[in-house]
A and B are shown apart, each in its own frame.
Chain A
């Protein structure tokens, strides 16, 4: 069964850091671009970043460049999101997602992990 399982969310103070993980199974992880997408009531659904198969190419939404870093470990079938200098507006559910059967949509999503930035 194809599965993505996020972890690492929690409550963090403004200015703090958090590292999210996404464990993949049921498919050849190293063959696919991977993405992080977040969702909050205030900002809706927002694509955050993606990374290519070997980690050599990364793209970010402009508003997050310099604070968030996407990475992957193909040996561990894992995707990561390092989040620094967190702000209240980063509070959201964070999903990892892939386009497994198509490159033009996200057909597999994890269950999401909640990040709350609050003092």
Chain B
């Protein structure tokens, strides 16, 4: 199975900051990586797919990049509603594994 490692696991930032979350795959997955945002008690919400394509309706302050084994999610100008948990997922081969999550907290 392909393992995904997110870093950091916890991130403190302030409103207006720019932050970057990294997701590393244990083997190459081309660009088959998605990013999700999850608020407590809710299902994950798709932000980005195939590494850099912004899902319809997602604010443009979210962006993704990378290919192969290293990927990043960048959030520009953090808004109060962005302080929650983020996950990456690979869809290169089943099982379609997820990263362990990054919790973004207000500093």
A residues contacting B by CB (< 8 A) are 35, 44-47, 50, 59, 61-62, 95, 97, 101-102, 104-107, 109-112
Given A44-B98, A45-B98, A61-B95: A105 touches B87 (CB 8 Å cut-off)? no
Contact among A61, A105, A110 with B43 in the assembled complex (CB-CB below 8 Å):
A110
B residues contacting A by CB (< 8 A) are 1, 32, 34, 42-46, 49-50, 53, 55-56, 87, 89, 91, 94-98, 100-101
Interface pair A50/B94, CB less than 8 Å apart: yes
A to B contact number (C-beta, < 8 Å): 59
A104 to B51: give the CA distance in the assembly, Å: 10
28 sample A-B contacts, Cβ–Cβ < 8 Å, listed by A number: A44-B98, A44-B100, A45-B44, A45-B101, A46-B97, A46-B98, A47-B89, A47-B94, A47-B98, A50-B94, A59-B95, A61-B94, A62-B95, A97-B43, A101-B56, A102-B49, A104-B32, A104-B49, A104-B91, A105-B55, A105-B89, A106-B44, A106-B46, A107-B55, A109-B45, A110-B43, A111-B43, A112-B43
